[in-house]
Amino acid sequence: MSRNDERYLLQALEFEGVLRACLYRYTRNNSDVDELLQEVYARLLTAGASDDPEVRSVRAFALTVARNVAFDWLRHRQVVPIELVADLEALEVLDEGEQIEEIVNSHQELAMLVKAIQGLPDRCRQVFTLRKVYGYSQKEIALRLSISENTVEQHLTKAARRCAQALFDQPVSERRSMLFDRFRKRKRPNVQSE
Amino acid sequence: MSRASDISDAAAHWLVRLEGQTTPQIWDSFQEWMDQDPRHRAAFIRLRVAWNHVDLLKNMRPVDGTIDADLLATTKINPSSIADRGLVPVQGSQRRRTEELAMPERRRVFAIAAAIAAAGVVAWFGSYHLGWKSYETGVGGRQKMELADGSTVDLNTNTELNVRISGSRRDIMLARGEALFHVAHDPNRPFYVTAGGTVVRAVGTEFSVRIRDPEHVDVLVAEGRVAVGAPGTEANFENPTLLATAPKVSAGEAASVRRNSVSIHHILSTDVTRKLRWTDGYLAFEGETLDDAVQEFNRYNQRQITITDKSIVTVKVGGNFRTTDPDSFTAAVQHMYGFQVQVGANNGDIRLSAGGQPP
């Protein structure tokens, strides 16, 4: 089994919603959550590259990292309301207990994705469709739609961010399954005889 | 705008830029950006995983080969119908599918019109994407089947495969596991296998594809020649230029495909046969390490073998074994090397250790 340094991060993407919820308790605002989440992911990458022993529960580990990142952030802001601290102490337990393993099937995942794509401006959606459904190159899309390659690039950039949001940044109750099955190391589906 | 948003935006921009025309200069400045800050890399990986995953929308391509940039528009597709029905119909018999394909054009149009009249636009959308058929084997399972075009496919253990045969192309999506394709020759209908981010194109040949992980795929060619597109590269082989410049793997060669790279090595014809023995339900070893052999057995069995002594993992093993009979294998190494074999009482898992006395 190859030990690549992305492994903790790849697993953590699976419960991005939980990490966001955890960070939100400290920041109480979403743009700070985005900020801190990136730092959490960066630390998971660094941890994946270190020689430390393999983390047993990536979920528990990632939540600890998230809390540390949040504490650093609070310390940096210097002012920490007392009731917030008390609140956080109480939440320590809650985070660990939050083992919600809801499975959303691949159809639902697709539906969420299509819904997100439909939220894009028309031109952006068309560029995305030609690229991802039909596999056209960026150059071919530019020719077909009579727009510059630069514009194609801009549309795809926007679409890529939207896709990541649709797939990862979901409320915990809308977890998807299929995407992450591929990262699970050992699967033991039911036996099917020859 | 926050810095987090700037980083995500930059990461998305790199992702898209690298898909377009890449020069060594662009690649260098990308690497520079990636190395500047671990947050850059993290944001890029997150987007890359999502972006590659979105390739599953290729399943939505209409069977008749028409291109519609508005395919995903709200007027044409209803997300809640996808949530209910999905895009890949799991039900439906192969025979019926063939009949539908063989139906004369006018009758088909009529049938579709009737379907719309009968069940409304949502149902029409469902039939529009019909043509994908799913096959699956569990751990230890194996299945041989014939496709509508006369090609045959062998599915190995724990494998999932989606197939769509149309008038202009043959599409296979290997979702997990391993399969051997014996492709019926048809230059007018190229045979595409996508596995993770890897694309393999053939017209008439015999080759196997195995997904080790989404960005590491093995291709083994027994007969003929295939074109291979690595994850992260432009692999739209309908484009003749891209097809001409793509790496080719010929009979007696195996390719290890990873992100942006295809490494091809020659293998002996006897080894090709040996590596494909799984099609008969056998594993044939000839100098593989104990570790590799154990990993092979673990693919085919719920009962897992673990090696508890690092000192023995590189021991070389040989012999033919049933894929679903790990006990014969462990008995053989016990006999040959004096290793100790312990079988767990509840789950039957097997532990291999160096054992007390040498043979």
How much of chain A exceeds pLDDT 70, in percent? 70
Domain span holding position B218: 67-269
Task: Answer yes or no: are the C-beta atoms of B219 and B208 closer than 8 Å.
Answer: yes
Task: Answer yes or no: are the C-beta atoms of B229 and B193 closer than 8 Å.
Answer: no
Tell which residue, A102, A125, A43, A181, has the closest CA to residue B211: A181
Question: Does B39 sit within 8 Å of A41, measured CB to CB?
Answer: yes
CA atoms within 13 A on the CB side of B123: 10
Cα of A20 to nearest chain B Cα, Å: 14
Percent helix, percent strand, percent coil in chain A, to nearest 5: 70, 0, 30
Co-location of B195 and B329 in the same domain: no
- pLDDT tens digit sequence for B204-237: 899 999 998 877 899 999 999 999 988 777 777 8
Q: How far apart are CA A61 and CA A40, in angstroms?
A: 11
Cα of B63 to nearest chain A Cα, Å: 12
B87: how many CB neighbours lie within 10 A of its CB? 23
Over residues B139-166, mean pLDDT: 91
- pLDDT tens digit sequence for B90-148: 222 233 333 333 334 434 444 444 444 433 333 333 333 445 778 889 999 999 999 98
Q: By CB neighbour count within 10 A (0-12 exposed, 13-18 middle, 19+ buried), where does B1 fall?
A: exposed
Tell which residue, B224, B236, B235, B140, has the closest CA to residue B182: B224
CATH of the domain at B300: 3.55.50.30
B119: how many CB neighbours lie within 10 A of its CB? 12
Task: Answer yes or no: are the C-beta atoms of B167 and B65 closer than 8 Å.
Answer: yes
| Domain stop point among B248, B269, B290 | B269
Torsion angles phi and psi, residue A144, rounded to 5: -65, -40
Co-location of B169 and B314 in the same domain: no
Q: Which residue among B46, B71, B137 sits closest to A164, beta carbon to beta carbon?
A: B46
Tell which residue, A102, A92, A97, has the closest CA to residue A70: A92
Over residues B278-291, mean pLDDT: 93
Co-location of B226 and B294 in the same domain: no
Domain count, chain B: 3
Task: Answer yes or no: are the C-beta atoms of B282 and B323 closer than 8 Å.
Answer: yes
Distances (CA, A) of B126 to B73, B101, B116: 15, 16, 10
A87 falls in which pLDDT band (50, 70, 90)? low
Residue A190 or residue B185, greater confidence? B185
Q: What is the pLDDT of residue B23?
A: 80
CA atoms within 13 A on the CB side of B19: 30
| Domain stop point among B269, B300, B332 | B269
Co-location of B243 and B331 in the same domain: no
Residue B256 lies in a domain: yes
Q: Which residue among B42, B61, B236 sits closest to A41, beta carbon to beta carbon?
A: B42
Residue B275 lies in a domain: no
Residue B359 lies in a domain: no
Which residue does chain B place closest to A31, by CA atoms?
B2
Would you kindly state where each structural domain of chain A is located, as residue ranges?
A: 7-97, 106-181
Which residue does chain A place closest to B196, by CA atoms?
A182
Q: How far apart are CA B276 and CA B193, in angstroms?
A: 18
Co-location of B228 and B310 in the same domain: no
- Is the pLDDT at A183 greater than 70? The verdict is no
- Is the pLDDT at A43 greater than 60? The verdict is yes
Q: Which of A100-104, B53-57, B156-160 has the highest mean pLDDT?
A: B156-160
Q: How far apart are CA B168 and CA B187, in angstroms?
A: 10
Over residues B300-314, mean pLDDT: 92
CATH number for region A106-181: 1.10.10.10
Co-location of B289 and B225 in the same domain: no
Cα of A117 to nearest chain B Cα, Å: 8
Q: What's the mean per-residue pLDDT of chain B?
A: 81
Task: Supply the pTM of this predicted model.
Answer: 0.51
- pLDDT tens digit sequence for B244-253: 888 999 999 9
Which residue does chain B place closest to A39, by CA atoms?
B39
